[in-house]
């Protein structure tokens, strides 16, 4: 077995260490010399590019355009929206000076005390403030609305405890910021975009998600309502994977953005914002991967298939590689991203392990017997199964397998998720399920922040969301592929709070989370 | 004439004001609330996306992968490479604190004095230092080489005088950073990438460029050699549009990046770096646009054609719009990006002016007479000509026009450029040509930095480049579409320095520049 694999921590022994090992050894990312900041390596970045391309197309298909706003935000902007400042302006990178000078003592460079900014600049943790300050100049009449803008950018939040992809001081994301004439239109946009995120998570990442509302306590700082998609990882913890916020008129009021409406009256503009980040790469890894390494869904995999010659001696190597070149050409003609690995300085077993580690969906190995028989060995990464198949029709077979693997990965994650939504009606059971089984716990809650915090204090579990139920599902959200199974919390059903026994209108989903 | 056009400053009266007006009024960009930082608006960002997509494909076709490195660089990193620190670490954004707190006086938020960083962080002005510090962990043997990595990112240089796109405190760019076994391989990469930039400028932007070497004085801080592409704007000023640097072993030495070579000896790694930025949008505007607004080459235009109904009354409007929908479908099927503007609240003359301002290559107007005759009015933005053409075969005609317009824009810029390279052999003529004609002045120079600076002091002209001459052109650079005409400085030819009279081996190109 290859060296890398030996060093990959067992997933069942230490999930957290397994995750970190995997990210580093599969060449996705590593920590940098700057505290809490990561380097996204080419293989990891290629996954982000695939996510970017798929999402960007979905945003454009729903009428959005991209734009770019400044990295820096004047400190005073944060104070304009009362709850926003509490949520975002505290742990942040502050630019105070704009020049260095040679150290008078001759030791490198030091900050030039004369180059102090009059007002400090904050490296954006999110861009509502600078964008709404800009929108003030763009919006005068209802004819200027809606504005449907998205930004791809880096943001910085000074996190104390960081984990690659899941929580880093700097991360990459997209943030949509839309402006509307009416409350309804802004709310519809909020709903539409959480639906886009769900579709992306399920169809591209192969990760089933629950859509729901955040409680007041977990809401975005400055929002009237936050919708979220919540995914379940293989260790039973939930991961918030994307959020869409209905901002009401809060930012329009804070930045005095008024418009003349169709009744020729001045009104404040209605807003939404929504975002997903490189955190999704963490979700992707933790939802599917195993002790052999990454398992990547074909629709986001940087490489669909790797072709490896098996040989003894130069003659066999040349012959097998030549045939693989032909087969690779046929695969590429089908739109598949493939690579031939005919390195002569490592054994084929090492290569097999390496591509398992990297999660390449299909491995094709061609040996002397295959050369004679017109066959090839095809191995699937998701099931770790292999079979001998004819070379003829290989491209069609592999192309078809991509859909099958994509689907199989999703179905497996869905089955795991559905097995891990547990209906609970007593406090003892609540605690026991969290400790012994994990996953989502569907339980009644009395609706108060006080109880929510008490439960968190007692169990480390938080309310991941209040799932949208039948009557509750806003128009435009469509059908989810991964609805919560009936009876597990996706519908209204009165009961008594699992902690206080007070009345509850419906179940909510609790979980421990990342 | 529409309001926007009236307000566009005449290009011949005040080129600088014309440029600024155009950028703002065409909706490309605007200044933000943060000093020197711009907002790139959707129409401007769409141009950048097209540039990104074309360049990214060219980089990948030449074997490069993308990655992402931290926004912040520890201050001490800059001091490691002696000339780099002088060039880059001075005017920069310095992060000194990582937390804000509520103002004890109750006035918003203030910097928390307890949250001072031990070592200040610099917002990257360019990433050689953090990247070579990272490469140290990636490179051990020649088997780890080459590394061919590119990064798309934002960077910050604290400029005192800023201009939209041309010079802003924050800008978007790509920076390639490659690592190689041998001097020759790193140099070949440097040459290859300046060739990629030239191809991009000429084939996509329609901007002819001169490739040459920078003088020691104008070289990138930390490079052994800087190659540049220099373009000429319509006001006779040059614009450095892209650079590719041969870094020798400088950064490998600074960050102690050694590898075991094929002879089993330790050696320092050889490097190149290369970049282009949103500055290219400024070059694109200034190379082609006119008093009516932008002129965009079809290969980078966000929109290829706009379709406008001409009508009196609702019935005619509905009929014309319906026919335009059909035609738009045919155009889209050809891969053209088109839009129908059937707004009823503005006159068609206003629309015509608006799309001229925005530089849409083709305008199609359909009136009642056209409806009857099966014709449509086709107007070209580059020549401002129009003709009545049959609706039948329209998509093919417009698709063909895209190539014709792309080519015509380039040829016009090339003719202007070639007319504005002037061979000069006396100081008086040197000064007169710079003052009266502008453009590149091809003159002899004695090769000293002293003379170079004296000429700059006297005339504000700088040496834009030492053009590559026949024998001099490195392998792998291929044929330029826009070679400097014979006799104007693209070849060796000894002479006497235009200022000092001292001997010179060959002519160099001077110009005033952005």
CA dist., res. A78 & res. A80, Å (int): 5
Phi-psi region of B447 (alpha: psi -120 to 50; beta: other; left: phi over 0): left
Q: What is the mean pLDDT of each run of 10 residues along chain A (514 residues)?
A: 64 95 97 96 98 98 98 93 76 95 83 95 96 98 97 94 96 98 97 96 97 95 96 97 97 97 98 98 98 98 98 94 97 98 94 97 97 97 97 98 98 97 97 98 97 98 89 66 79 93 96 97
CA dist., res. A446 & res. A507, Å (int): 10
Backbone angles phi, psi at A168, to 5 degrees: -130, 155
- 3-class DSSP state for residue A32? coil
Quickly name the fold that domain A3-74+131-288 has.
Answer: BirA Bifunctional Protein; domain 2 (3.30.930)
CATH architecture designation of domain A420-511: 2-Layer Sandwich (3.30)
Residue range A376-403, pLDDT digits in tens: 999 999 999 999 999 999 999 999 999 9
- B274 touches B59 (CB < 8 A): no
Cβ–Cβ gap B99/A91 under 8 Å: yes
CA dist., res. A189 & res. A180, Å (int): 9
Cβ–Cβ gap A130/B33 under 8 Å: yes
Residue B85 in tokens: 């620190």
CA dist., res. B311 & res. A32, Å (int): 62
Is residue B470 very low, low, confident or very high in pLDDT (cuts 50, 70, 90)? low
Mean pLDDT of B392-404: 98
Out of A234-248, B96-110, B155-169, least confident range: B96-110
Amino acid B183: pLDDT = 97
Residue range B346-361, pLDDT digits in tens: 999 999 999 999 999 9
DSSP A281-312: HHHHHHHH-BTTB----TTT-S-SEEEEE--S
- 3-class DSSP state for residue B228? strand
- A275 touches A242 (CB < 8 A): yes
Residue B303 in tokens: 């929109």
Amino acid A1: pLDDT = 40
Cβ–Cβ gap A100/B89 under 8 Å: yes
- A89 touches A222 (CB < 8 A): no
Is pLDDT at B3 greater than 60 in this prediction?
Answer: no
Is the CB of residue B338 less than 8 Å away from at least one CB of chain A?
no
Alpha helices by DSSP H, listed for A118-209, are: 128-138, 183-203
Cβ–Cβ gap A109/B33 under 8 Å: no
Amino acid B103: pLDDT = 84
- A417 touches A208 (CB < 8 A): yes
Backbone angles phi, psi at A356, to 5 degrees: -65, -45
CA dist., res. A451 & res. A166, Å (int): 28
CA dist., res. A36 & res. B184, Å (int): 37
- CATH 3.30.110.30 intervals, chain A: 420-511
Best A36, A43, A66, A71 member to test B by mutation, with max B CBs in 10 Å, is A71
Is residue B1 very low, low, confident or very high in pLDDT (cuts 50, 70, 90)? very low
Cβ–Cβ gap A93/B95 under 8 Å: yes
Nearest to A96 among B76, B97, B108 (CB): B97
Amino acid A365: pLDDT = 98
Q: What is the C-alpha end-to-end distance of chain B, expressed in Å?
A: 32
**Domain spanning A305-404 has what CATH number?**
3.40.50.800
Say which DSSP state B366 is in.
E
Residue A419 in tokens: 């097995």
- CATH 3.30.930.10 intervals, chain B: 3-71+131-288
Mean pLDDT of B242-271: 97
Exposed, middle or buried by CB within 10 Å (0-12, 13-18, 19+), for A470?
exposed
- 3-class DSSP state for residue B282? helix
Amino acid B4: pLDDT = 47
More confident residue, B85 or A179: A179
Residue identified by tokens 């450095």 is B240
Residue A35 in tokens: 């505290």
Say which DSSP state B89 is in.
S
- A172 → chain B, closest CA residue: B68
Other residues' Cβ atoms within 10 Å of the Cβ of residue B25: 19
Residue range B189-222, pLDDT digits in tens: 999 999 999 999 999 999 999 999 999 999 999 9
Amino acid A104: pLDDT = 81
Amino acid B476: pLDDT = 66
CA dist., res. A190 & res. A244, Å (int): 6
- CATH 3.30.930.10 intervals, chain A: 3-74+131-288
- Which H or E element spans position A66? strand A65-66
Amino acid B2: pLDDT = 46
Cβ–Cβ gap B156/A71 under 8 Å: yes
Residues 6+ apart with CB under 8 A from A176: A59, A64, A148, A149, A150, A151, A193, A272, A273, A274, A275
Q: At what angle do helices A42-61 and A279-288 cross, to 10 degrees?
A: 110
Cβ–Cβ gap B30/A70 under 8 Å: no
Residue B173 in tokens: 């760019």
Q: What is the CA radius of gyration of chain A?
A: 26
Amino acid B484: pLDDT = 84
Cβ–Cβ gap A65/B45 under 8 Å: yes
- B32 touches A121 (CB < 8 A): no
Is the CB of residue B333 less than 8 Å away from at least one CB of chain A?
no
Residues in A touching B39 (Cβ below 8 Å):
67-70, 134
Closest CA to B413 of B238, B197, B208: B208
pTM: 0.96
CATH architecture designation of domain B305-401: 3-Layer(aba) Sandwich (3.40)
Residues in B touching A65 (Cβ below 8 Å):
42, 45-46
Number of H helices, E strands in chain A: 15, 25
Quickly name the fold that domain B3-71+131-288 has.
Answer: BirA Bifunctional Protein; domain 2 (3.30.930)
Amino acid B472: pLDDT = 62
CA dist., res. A216 & res. A359, Å (int): 39
Cβ–Cβ gap A98/B93 under 8 Å: yes
- B207 touches B284 (CB < 8 A): yes
From the centroid of its chain, how far is CA B149?
A: 20
Residues in B touching A75 (Cβ below 8 Å):
100, 108-109
Closest CA to B479 of B249, B108, B195, B159: B195
- CATH 3.30.110.30 intervals, chain B: 419-511
Q: Which of the following CATH numbers is that of domain B419-511: 3.40.50.11540, 3.30.110.30, 3.30.365.10, 3.20.20.70?
A: 3.30.110.30
Mean pLDDT of B80-96: 84
Cβ–Cβ gap B109/A89 under 8 Å: yes
More confident residue, B243 or A85: B243
- What separation in angstroms does the CA of A207 have from each of A40, A152, B80? 22, 23, 45
More confident residue, B243 or A493: B243
* Chain A closest-CA separation from residue B181 CA (Å): 18
CA dist., res. A86 & res. A127, Å (int): 15
Is residue B102 very low, low, confident or very high in pLDDT (cuts 50, 70, 90)? confident
Residue A376 in tokens: 């090839």
Is the CB of residue A143 less than 8 Å away from at least one CB of chain B?
yes
Query: How many residue pairs from chains A and B have C-beta atoms closer than 8 A?
Result: 190
């Amino acid at each position: 077995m290859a060296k890398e694999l030996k060093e990959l921590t067992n997933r069942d022994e230490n999930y957290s260490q397994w995750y970190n090992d995997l990210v580093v050894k599969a060449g996705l990312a590593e920590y940098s010399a700057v505290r809490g900041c990561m380097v996204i390596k080419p293989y990891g970045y290629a996954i982000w590019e695939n996510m970017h391309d798929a999402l960007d197309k979905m945003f454009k298909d729903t009428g959005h355009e991209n734009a770019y706003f400044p990295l820096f935000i004047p400190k005073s902007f944060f104070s304009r929206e009362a709850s926003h400042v509490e949520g975002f302006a505290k742990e942040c990178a502050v630019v105070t000076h704009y020049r260095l000078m040679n150290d008078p003592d001759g030791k490198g460079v030091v900050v030039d005390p004369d180059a102090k900014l009059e007002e400090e600049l904050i490296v954006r943790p999110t861009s509502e403030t600078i964008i709404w300050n800009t929108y003030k100049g763009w919006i005068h009449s209802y004819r200027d609305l809606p504005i449907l803008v998205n930004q791809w950018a880096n943001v910085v939040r000074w996190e104390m405890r960081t984990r690659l992809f899941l929580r880093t001081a700097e991360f990459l994301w997209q943030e949509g910021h839309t402006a509307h004439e009416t409350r309804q239109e802004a709310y519809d946009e909020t709903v539409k975009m959480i639906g886009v995120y769900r579709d992306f998570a399920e169809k591209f990442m192969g990760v089933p998600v629950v859509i729901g509302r955040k409680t007041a306590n977990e809401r975005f700082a400055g929002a009237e309502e936050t919708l979220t998609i919540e995914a379940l990882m293989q260790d039973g913890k939930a991961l918030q994977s994307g959020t869409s916020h209905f901002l009401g008129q809060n930012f329009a009021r804070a930045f005095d953005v008024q418009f003349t409406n169709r009744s020729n009256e001045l009104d404040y503009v209605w807003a939404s914002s929504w975002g997903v980040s490189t955190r999704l790469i963490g979700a992707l890894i933790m939802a599917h991967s195993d002790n052999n390494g990454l398992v990547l869904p074909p629709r986001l995999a940087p490489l669909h298939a790797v072709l490896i010659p098996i040989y003894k001696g130069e003659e066999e190597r040349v012959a097998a590689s030549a045939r693989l070149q032909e087969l690779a050409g046929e695969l590429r003609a089908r739109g598949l991203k493939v690579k031939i690995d005919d390195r002569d300085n490592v054994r084929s077993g090492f290569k097999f392990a390496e591509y398992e580690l990297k999660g390449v969906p299909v491995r094709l190995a061609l040996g002397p017997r295959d050369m004679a028989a017109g066959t090839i060995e095809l191995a699937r990464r998701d099931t770790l199964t292999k079979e001998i198949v004819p070379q003829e029709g290989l491209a069609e077979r592999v192309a078809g397998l991509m859909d099958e693997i994509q689907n199989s990965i999703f179905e497996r994650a869905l089955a795991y998720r559905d097995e891990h939504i547990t209906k609970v009606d007593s406090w003892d059971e609540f605690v026991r399920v969290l400790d012994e089984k994990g996953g989502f716990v569907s339980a009644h809650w009395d609706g108060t922040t006080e109880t929510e915090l008490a439960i968190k204090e007692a169990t480390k579990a938080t309310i991941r969301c209040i799932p949208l139920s039948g009557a509750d599902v806003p128009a435009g959200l469509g059908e989810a592929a991964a609805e919560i199974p009936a009876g597990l919390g996706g519908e209204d059903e009165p009961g008594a709070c699992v902690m206080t026994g007070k009345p509850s209108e419906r179940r909510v989903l609790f979980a421990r989370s990342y």
